[in-house]
């Protein structure tokens, strides 16, 4: 069978101290265990019955063996069988008394429930039998009063043990309306503070509702007659309830206290309450019945005191004090508890009761007063507790503790059950406990028996566990071991025994490595909007699973969500995107397993620009003086360095805030001085190390009245724009400086020469003021003053201006040139004449210079001198100067120059012309250098003279080295005479790459080098195609597609075609690029078959076909009309003759033009070529065409074409001796030299270095 209620609780085993009880656990497996009786139902303390009600006194209990019941009445045995009409409910002890016997058998009853282990006792129940209440017959007299008098209508219902509820209604069963004037008291009376004529009614009926008999009875109707009166007088309040004197009110702890004050008077009094010894209890005190009733719920002992009601109207007050004493029915402080004990133990039943007056406590054993119970020597009452010593198996009993005072009674049953039980360990055997090192582990050994067993633990080495200082055994048998070490693992043995038996179990301990964090997250300070990453690396015991790493922010678990990318968790990192100030806080990573967890924290601190300031206030402290104050906003973790005050002027610049001033960050205020005639608003923004924050809300506007201008305009100048006027200008005042709605300017001027003139003036709205009829460049005194409707500005300063200028009449003299080097000279001059001849302010000088050609060029070519016109270069020297350094000249050149002076009007006449020559310099780089592969080990080189020889060329220096050769090696050098412009280098490394540096030479040395690279690798000249297919075919076109056999450079080739049906030669359709992969062949005839071929050039320059096929167009061929004259032979011959004739004429014209632009060479020297490299012959390059030159990356001119110049005449005329040089307005060259660059194609001999002309 299941364990009885109260014995099936969990194990509570206390092994030390008197009175310790044991509770038999369900796991112990007892089936037939006896149980002392325990009451489950008891009769009420008071039962009121009426004639139609039976008396039912409930009594039920549990117990094993089954419980037997008996009753007492008035402390005497009551045997139901002796009273017909009295029965006991089957299976229970409930007593039922027939209603007819209720009045005769009323009294005090008590129930006893007993079995072999003891007797339980119920509370004492008082049975009261009452008749059905009835209102006694009475004669009701009318109640007659005058208007304004107080009225009390009595109710006085029949008395009952259960007071009825009172209602006042009229004959229509409508409640009598109640208010502050008319209300019902706690006694059921109806009170009128003052009667009104309208209160006259003959049907005031009092109803009493008795809940027990479920009966409502009513009193005879009361007739209230109120006589109207014309002499109603006001009167002060008088208390009708309570009536003095009144005993103190006794309130019971935990109950409800009701205090009442009902007053009469005219006008109707108002009632208020107060506590004289403290405030009314908050939350438990309430006012009812129009403040006439004070209700105090859940009374406490601290509610003792004096409560006063005050009734008042316009005539006075009435007071009454209620003295309240708080007492208490008995209540439990410590209630005795049932318990199971073993033989030899001591039982202690505590019974601690409080109450006021102090309750009397009495003990019973099995329902018998303890004084009369047997075995008095082994129990005693100490400090309200019953102590039973040296318990024996037959000492099982039920004890009763009963307490009472005048307010009530308490009763509690508690049994002492003495049993003998063998030892049994309830913890399962072979239990595994897993723990991590440095943790405390608890190994359980739940042992039960009676008497209580002793528990002992043994280590895996079978030694007492308590020998280890880290071990402790609790009273419930649990072994605590900690901190655990890795070597503590193994089987631990628990042994339990008492005087009758023993038992043991084994617990296995497994100690794992503790989880730890190897790399904790680091605190971060980030700017708002940045992305922050925290990293946390944890280490786990390999045998622990599951395990994981989680992140928290201020204790809240962070997870990734599909609708937000705020947090990203990847492996051991947490990424917080777009941090804001609200994201600040503590970010912690927690590495967890089922056995342990460790945490590490990092702080996120978000910094940024400060928040807007608040509470901006503007305080006027004087005339146009204000003081701004504000409350700083959030600093966002960076201290405010300064506050910026911005101002808006609403009249002239509405809507535009400008910075007015800044104040230090620790100063939340700023004084300001305002300008007249303004409407101002201000706003303030804070700035820290991260920038300026948002501005505050604008302040309320503040206006200032107009005033005279406080300053005059600046920038006053007097200058003429004509030779006979004076233009006076100034910088107008800003609108904020007008100090009025508008401003005007008073302009005054007078002449200084020849004598001081009188002031003349003009008032205008703005600049300029033009004064006409003035002498040229004459001084004037000028002043400008600001004026408005409120007055004039301060006295303006006088400035001196001049009337209009004219061109200077003087020119620089004693102009001289000092040669400094080949590109720079120093020019000196002096200025004669007086200031009047300048006719204006001296602005500076201009040096005008022309380049006329190379030194000695005219002598060699015997040309006439160049005309003095043309555009010079100009060097402007500002201010007063007597010389200047003129640089950027070209070496070995002829120059002429002049110097002019200029003023604001323009340039004066030029100085005398000076001519000079610049000395020789180093040449510029050669103009071109072409490198061509002509054999497996041979490269051909061709070059041009420098564009700027800067002297007489004496030769060329060629340096070269192999590209893959170490940089430290010396290059090969070859020198060439000035007339040599090509060479061939042999015996080079096959398939090698070379770097060339070519320099031109003059007597001053070599010039800068022209660098090129050449390669002996064979260059592809024909594309290698993989496949060619015919794509789309139309009536007059076809599209060819091809692929390359391997990646290769882009190569152009021709697409040719010819008809298979007519005799015609190959015709070229156009050129195709090999990298494009397609070509559209058009202008074909419909329905015609064609042969198509691709033509390119091989390494020898020959045109060869490298692909051929046939195509067929769609459609039908439309025959052409026969006999066209364009196909006749005579016509073709005629056209050919005309073309040859035109070609011959063009050749003659070209020869004539070439001869006409040259001068004869006076002296021609032949110089033997002294070179380490053999010169190339003209025919060497004859087989290379323009197409090959393009393929090799040259500038488009083939070596064969250049061969004509290799042995040129070298006359100066061939290189632009009659140069037509033009200049821009600023002196820069804009023209170029004309003339042929070479001689006849047949000339190939070496030229003399002394005769090599310079190139421009």
What is the DSSP code string of 1065-1091?
--EEEEEEETTT-EEEE-SPPTT-EEE
- Listed in sequence order, the residues at least 6 apart from 90 whose beta carbon sits closer than 8 Å to its beta carbon are none
Task: For the beta carbon of residue 952, count every other beta carbon within 10 angstroms.
Answer: 21
Are the C-beta atoms of residues 430 and 506 closer than 8 Å to each other?
A: yes
Separation in Å, CA 1178 to CA 321, 928, 1203: 146, 19, 5
Tokens of 849: 């210079």
Q: Which of 953, 960, 955, 956 is nearest to 931 (CA)?
A: 960
Query: Chain centroid to CA 931: how far?
Result: 64
Q: Which of 388, 500, 1219, 353 is nearest to 861 (CA)?
A: 1219
**Distance between CA atoms of residues 474 and 481, nearest Å:** 11
Q: pTM for the whole thing?
A: 0.44
Are the C-beta atoms of residues 892 and 953 closer than 8 Å to each other?
A: no
**Distance between CA atoms of residues 34 and 73, nearest Å:** 30
**Distance between CA atoms of residues 957 and 976, nearest Å:** 6
Are the C-beta atoms of residues 224 and 204 closer than 8 Å to each other?
A: yes
Are the C-beta atoms of residues 494 and 414 closer than 8 Å to each other?
A: no
How does pLDDT run across 29-77, given as a tens digit for each residue? 665 678 899 999 999 999 999 988 899 999 999 999 999 999 999 999 9
**Distance between CA atoms of residues 520 and 602, nearest Å:** 8
Residue 556 backbone dihedrals phi, psi, to 5 degrees: -95, 130
**Alpha-carbon torsion 1085, 1090, 1094, 1097, what sign?**
negative
| Residue ranges with strand state E in 1009-1066 | 1010-1015, 1025-1033, 1038-1044, 1052-1059
**Distance between CA atoms of residues 179 and 267, nearest Å:** 14
Exposure letters 585-609 (e unless 16+ CB within 10 A, then b): eebbbbbbbebbebebebebebbbb
The reported pLDDT for the residue numbered 550 is 94
**Distance between CA atoms of residues 622 and 620, nearest Å:** 6
The reported pLDDT for the residue numbered 858 is 55
| Burial (Cβ within 10 Å: 0-12, 13-18, ≥19) of residue 872 | buried
The owner of tokens 């139902």 is 41
* Integer Rg of the chain from CA: 65
How does pLDDT run across 841-875, given as a tens digit for each residue? 999 999 999 999 988 775 444 444 544 557 899 99
Tokens of 273: 């309450």
**Distance between CA atoms of residues 450 and 241, nearest Å:** 68
Separation in Å, CA 841 to CA 191, 726, 830, 834: 118, 15, 17, 12
Tokens of 1082: 């058009």
Along the chain (1256 residues), what's the average pLDDT of each consecutive run of 10 residues? 36 38 72 84 92 92 93 93 91 91 92 94 93 87 93 92 92 93 94 94 94 89 93 93 87 94 95 93 94 95 94 94 94 92 88 94 92 79 88 89 94 91 91 93 91 91 92 94 92 91 93 94 93 95 92 92 89 93 94 93 94 92 89 93 94 91 94 91 94 93 92 94 94 91 94 85 94 91 95 94 92 94 95 84 95 75 50 94 94 95 94 94 93 90 93 94 71 93 93 93 94 83 86 88 83 89 86 89 89 84 85 63 47 77 82 49 35 34 34 35 34 33 35 33 34 35
Region of 1070 on the Ramachandran plot (φ > 0 left; ψ -120 to 50 alpha; else beta): left
Helix (H) / strand (E) element for 853: namely: strand 844-854
Helix (H) / strand (E) element for 836: namely: helix 835-838
**Distance between CA atoms of residues 554 and 522, nearest Å:** 16
**Interstrand relation of 46-49 and 125-129 (parallel, antiparallel or unpaired):** parallel
Tokens of 1104: 């060869």
The reported pLDDT for the residue numbered 969 is 62
**Distance between CA atoms of residues 672 and 659, nearest Å:** 12
Separation in Å, CA 1210 to CA 168, 853, 974: 149, 18, 22
**Distance between CA atoms of residues 925 and 1006, nearest Å:** 9
Helix (H) / strand (E) element for 152: namely: strand 151-153
Secondary structure of residue 1190 in the 3-state scheme: helix
Tokens of 820: 């400094």
Tokens of 87: 């029965």
The reported pLDDT for the residue numbered 1131 is 64
| Residue ranges with strand state E in 335-430 | 339-341, 347-350, 352-356, 360-365, 368-369, 379-382, 385-388, 397-405, 408-418, 421-425
DSSP for residue 1229: B
- Listed in sequence order, the residues at least 6 apart from 655 whose beta carbon sits closer than 8 Å to its beta carbon are 648
Cα-Cα-Cα-Cα torsion 1156, 1159, 1165, 1166, nearest 10 degrees, comes to -10
Task: For the beta carbon of residue 107, count every other beta carbon within 10 angstroms.
Answer: 15
Q: Which of 907, 942, 911, 945 is nearest to 926 (CA)?
A: 945
Size of the chain, expressed as the number of residues it contains: 1256
Are the C-beta atoms of residues 821 and 919 closer than 8 Å to each other?
A: yes
């Amino acid at each position: 069978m299941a364990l009885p209620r109260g014995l099936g609780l969990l194990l509570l085993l206390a092994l030390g101290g008197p009175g310790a009880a044991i509770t038999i656990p369900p796991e112990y497996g007892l089936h037939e265990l006896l149980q002392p009786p325990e009451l489950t139902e008891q009769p009420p303390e008071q039962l009121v019955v009426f004639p139609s009600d039976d008396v039912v006194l409930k009594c039920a209990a549990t117990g094993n063996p089954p419980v037997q019941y008996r009753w007492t009445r008035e402390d005497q045995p009551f045997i139901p069988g002796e009273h017909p009409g009295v029965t006991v409910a089957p299976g229970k002890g409930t007593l039922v008394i027939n209603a007819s016997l209720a009045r005769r058998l009323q009294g005090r009853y008590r129930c006893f429930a007993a079995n072999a282990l003891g007797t339980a006792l119920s509370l004492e129940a008082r049975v009261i039998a009452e008749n059905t209440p009835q209102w006694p017959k009475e004669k009701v007299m009318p109640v007659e009063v005058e208007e304004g008098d107080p009225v009390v209508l009595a109710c006085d219902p029949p008395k009952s043990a259960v007071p009825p509820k009172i209602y006042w209604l009229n004959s229509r069963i409508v409640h009598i309306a109640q208010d502050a004037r008319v209300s019902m008291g706690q006694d059921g009376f109806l009170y009128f503070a003052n009667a009104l004529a309208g209160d006259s009614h003959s049907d005031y009926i009092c109803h009493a509702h008795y809940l027990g008999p479920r009966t409502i009875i009513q009193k005879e109707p009361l007739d209230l007659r109120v006589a109207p009166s014309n002499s109603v007088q006001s009167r002060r309040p008088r208390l009708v309830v309570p009536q003095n004197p009144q005993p103190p009110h006794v309130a019971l702890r935990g109950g409800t206290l009701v205090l009442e004050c009902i007053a009469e008077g005219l006008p109707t009094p108002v009632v208020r309450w107060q506590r004289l010894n403290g405030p009314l209890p908050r939350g438990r005190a309430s006012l009812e019945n129009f403040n006439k009733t004070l209700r105090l719920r859940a009374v406490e002992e601290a509610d003792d005191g004096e409560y006063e009601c005050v009734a008042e109207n316009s005539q006075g007050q009435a007071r009454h004090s209620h003295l309240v004493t708080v007492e208490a029915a008995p209540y439990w402080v410590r209630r005795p508890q049932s318990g199971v004990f073993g033989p030899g133990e001591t039982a202690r039943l505590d019974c601690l009761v409080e109450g006021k007056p102090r309750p009397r406590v009495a003990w019973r054993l099995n329902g018998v007063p303890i004084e009369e119970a047997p075995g008095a020597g082994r129990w005693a009452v100490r400090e309200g507790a019953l102590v039973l010593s040296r318990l024996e198996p037959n000492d099982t009993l039920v004890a009763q503790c009963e307490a009472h005072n005048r307010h009530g009674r308490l009763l509690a049953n508690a049994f002492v059950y003495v049993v003998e039980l063998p030892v049994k360990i309830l913890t399962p055997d072979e239990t595994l406990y897993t723990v991590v090192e440095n943790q405390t582990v608890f190994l359980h050994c739940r042992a039960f028996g009676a008497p209580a067993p002793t528990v002992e633990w043994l280590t895996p080495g079978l030694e007492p566990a308590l020998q280890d200082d880290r071990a402790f055994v609790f009273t419930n048998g649990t072994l605590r071991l900690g901190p655990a070490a890795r070597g503590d693992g193994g089987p631990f043995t628990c042994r339990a025994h008492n005087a009758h038996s023993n038992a043991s179990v084994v617990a296995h301990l497994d100690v794992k490595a503790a989880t730890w964090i190897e790399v904790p997250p680091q605190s971060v300070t980030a700017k708002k909007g940045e992305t922050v990453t925290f990293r946390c690396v944890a280490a786990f015991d390999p045998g622990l699973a599951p395990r994981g790493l989680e992140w928290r922010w201020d204790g809240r678990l962070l997870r990734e969500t599909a609708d937000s990318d705020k947090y990203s968790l990847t492996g051991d990192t947490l990424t917080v995107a777009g941090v804001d100030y609200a994201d600040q806080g503590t970010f912690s990573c927690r590495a967890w397993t089922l056995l342990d967890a460790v945490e590490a924290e990092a702080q996120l601190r978000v910094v940024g620009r400060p928040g807007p300031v608040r509470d901006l206030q503007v305080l006027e402290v004087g005339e146009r003086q204000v003081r701004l104050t504000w409350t700083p906003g959030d600093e966002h973790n960076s201290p405010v360095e300064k506050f910026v005050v911005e101002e808006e002027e609403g009249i002239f610049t509405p809507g535009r805030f400008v910075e007015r001033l800044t104040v230090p960050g620790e100063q939340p205020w700023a004084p300001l001085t305002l300008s007249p005639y303004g409407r101002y608003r201000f706003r303030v923004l804070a700035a820290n190390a991260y920038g300026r924050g948002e501005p505050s809300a604008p302040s309320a506007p503040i206006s200032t009245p107009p005033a005279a201008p406080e300053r005059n305009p600046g920038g006053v100048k007097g200058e003429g724009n004509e030779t006979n006027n004076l233009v006076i200008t100034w910088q107008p005042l800003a609108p904020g400086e007008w100090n009025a709605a508008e401003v005007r300017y008073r302009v005054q001027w007078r002449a200084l020469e020849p004598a001081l003139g009188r002031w003349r003036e003009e008032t205008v709205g703005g600049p300029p003021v033009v004064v006409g009829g003035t002498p040229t460049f004459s001084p004037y005194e000028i002043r400008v003053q600001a004026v408005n409707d409120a007055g004039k500005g301060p006295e303006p300063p006088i400035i001196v201006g001049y009337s209009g200028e004219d061109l200077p009449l003087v020119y620089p003299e004693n102009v001289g040139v000092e040669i400094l080097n080949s590109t720079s000279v120093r020019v000196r001059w002096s200025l004669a004449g007086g200031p009047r001849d300048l006719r204006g302010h001296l602005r500076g000088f201009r040096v005008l210079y022309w380049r006329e050609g190379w030194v000695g060029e005219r002598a060699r070519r015997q040309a006439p001198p160049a005309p003095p016109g043309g555009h010079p270069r100009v060097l402007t020297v500002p201010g007063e100067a007597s010389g200047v350094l003129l640089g950027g000249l070209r070496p070995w050149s002829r120059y002429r120059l002049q110097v002019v002076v200029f003023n604001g009007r323009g340039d004066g006449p030029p100085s005398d012309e000076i001519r000079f020559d610049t000395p020789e310099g180093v040449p510029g780089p050669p103009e071109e250098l072409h490198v061509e592969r002509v054999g497996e080990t041979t490269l051909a080189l061709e070059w041009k003279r420098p564009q700027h020889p800067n002297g007489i060329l004496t030769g060329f220096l060629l340096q070269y080295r192999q590209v893959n050769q170490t940089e430290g090696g010396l290059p090969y050098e070859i020198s060439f005479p000035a007339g040599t412009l090509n060479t061939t280098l042999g015996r080079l490394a096959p398939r090698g790459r070379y770097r060339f540096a070519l320099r031109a030479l003059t007597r001053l040395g070599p010039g800068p080098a022209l660098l090129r690279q050449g390669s002996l690798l064979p260059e592809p000249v024909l594309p290698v195609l993989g496949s060619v297919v015919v794509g789309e075919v139309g009536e007059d076109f076809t599209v060819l597609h091809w692929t390359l056999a391997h990646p290769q450079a882009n190569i152009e080739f021709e697409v040719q075609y010819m008809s298979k049906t007519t005799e015609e030669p190959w015709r070229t359709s156009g050129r195709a690029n090999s990298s494009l992969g397609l070509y559209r062949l058009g202008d074909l005839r419909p329905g015609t078959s064609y042969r198509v071929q691709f033509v390119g050039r091989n390494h020898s320059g020959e045109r060869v076909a490298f692909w051929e096929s046939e195509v067929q167009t769609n459609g039908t061929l439309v025959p052409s009309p026969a006999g066209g004259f364009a196909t006749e032979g005579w016509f073709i011959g005629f056209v050919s003759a005309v073309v040859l004739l035109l070609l011959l004429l063009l050749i003659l014209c070209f020869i004539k033009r070439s001869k006409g632009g040259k001068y004869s060479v006076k002296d021609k020297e032949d110089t033997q070529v002294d070179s380490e490299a053999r010169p190339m012959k003209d025919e060497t390059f004859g087989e290379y065409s323009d197409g090959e030159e393009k393929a090799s990356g040259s500038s488009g001119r083939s070596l064969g074409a250049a061969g004509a110049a290799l042995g040129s005449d070298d006359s100066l005329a061939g290189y632009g001796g009659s140069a037509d040089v033009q200049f821009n307005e600023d002196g820069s060259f804009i023209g170029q030299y004309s003339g042929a660059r070479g001689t006849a194609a047949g000339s190939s001999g070496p030229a003399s270095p002394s005769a090599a002309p310079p190139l421009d």
